[in-house]
Amino acid sequence: MLAPSPADSEAAPSPAALTRFLIIVGFCGFASALSMRTLDPVMPLIAVEFERSVVEVALLTTWFTFFYAFGQPILGPIGDAFSKPRLISLALVAMSATTAVAAAAGSFGLFSVARGLTGIAAGGVIPLVIAMIGDRFPYEQRQVALARFMVATLTGQIMGGLASGVLSPLIGWRGVLSVIAAIAGVSGIVFYLAMGRRDVSKRRPFSIGQAIANYRDILANPRALPLYLLVACEGALAFGFFPYVAAILLARDGATSVEAGIVITGYAIGGMIFAFSAKWILKSLGEKGMIRLGGVILCLCFLLFSIPAPWWTALPIFMMIGFGVYNIHNNLQTQATTLSETARGSSVALFACLLFAGSACGPPLVGLLMRLAGESGALLLYAAGVLALGLSAPRLLKLDRKAN
């Protein structure tokens, strides 16, 4: 594995300054993450309102992630050239506007367009924040810092899924989206006032030629292609089943949207358990051990979820899914911050592009497997896939860094 760069060895800012920075960017990550899992618990309700099948509505997750992914190759270089903090502020305000349009949409077509545009806007937040963390934290502290930031994003996912499931009977799914739109708008303004207008980083005009040159340099790194392939597989395997969870639980046990929201929230809770224990796990197992542990846990969880049972038994399973996913994901995204020191926004953006491209392929793949092999058969195949991912990733990335 490559040694830490010179930038990693520079004196870090004071702990108090880094803590303030993580709190500020955490608020942005929270606001952006709210929209990611919001629709999962209410897929059946949206299907009824727009007179569509659950499968059709579930493909909105693919639609959102498709636009999130393929906005990245442009947003990353713009952030590198212009200003990451200012682009993050603008993205949050744009996300507020498009979410408000989705909340008011009178047709499935307009709703789909608004969700796609929300995906582009949301893609200008978390990947650029991760790049900013890479700019400020040396390698030895970076994975723990990313785990701390993940607390905020996972809290957003928890609140998004839980609010959607719990509040939709009271204010409807449209009311939930309206609240999320307001939070995104406020967070964009607050972030601009706190960091955007104070950003004094050197700016240069955006150039497509320079962006292409940056990507060429990133892909010349021998670890880049294996890393990007792995994260695409992670996206398809880890998130493919989420849009179907509410329908699966409804068919098995008559679970309501509230109960489905509680189960999906378990994923984020498991991720938060990882985030608070990441420093200890890293010290105990090292990077290789963390990734392998994640693969084994995910395999067992998919095997357990393949067995029909009351809806509440899925909650601990999804907590362990969240814990397992982030044992893998946090290591992969930490590696993404090391691929380039001069175009870190671009390297992380390409990482996010492949992650969400994989996530976009996941639901259609799950739908195909469920038609061919049934619900349990599809879950068994996914169990084998995540185990292979966890066991092969350390070797493909040539991870040999000992526990820090």
Beta strands in 315-379 (DSSP E): none
What CA–CA distance (Å, rounded) separates 251 from 248?
Answer: 5
Q: What is the pLDDT along the chain (404 residues), one digit of tens a residue?
A: 343 444 444 445 667 777 888 888 888 888 888 877 777 777 778 888 888 887 778 777 778 878 888 888 888 888 877 778 888 999 999 999 999 998 898 888 899 899 999 989 988 898 888 888 888 888 788 888 888 888 888 788 777 777 777 777 888 888 888 988 999 999 999 888 887 666 656 666 666 787 888 888 899 889 899 999 999 999 898 878 887 888 888 888 888 877 887 888 788 889 889 988 888 998 888 889 999 999 999 999 999 999 988 989 999 999 999 999 999 998 998 888 888 877 888 888 889 888 888 887 888 888 889 889 888 899 999 999 999 999 999 999 887 654 44
Q: With a threshold of 0.85, does the pTM exceed it?
A: no
Q: Domain ranges in the chain?
A: 18-197+219-396
Tokens 């350390």 correspond to 394
- Angle among Cα 144, 153, 203 to the nearest 5 degrees reads 80
- Helix 54-70 × helix 344-396 angle, to 10°: 110
Give domain 18-197+219-396's CATH number out of 1.20.1250.20, 3.30.450.40, 3.40.50.970, 3.30.1120.80. 1.20.1250.20
327-356 exposure pattern, b = at least 16 Cβ within 10 A, e = fewer: bbbbbbbbbbbbbbeebbbbbbbbbbbbbb
Closest CA to 363 of 246, 227, 225: 246
Helix (H, G, I), strand (E, B) or coil at 49: helix
Are the beta carbons of 60 and 115 closer than 8 angstroms? yes
373-404 exposure pattern, b = at least 16 Cβ within 10 A, e = fewer: eebeebbbbbbebbbebbebbbeebebebeee
Alpha helices (runs of H) in 34-138, residue ranges in sequence order: 43-49, 54-70, 72-81, 84-104, 108-122, 126-136
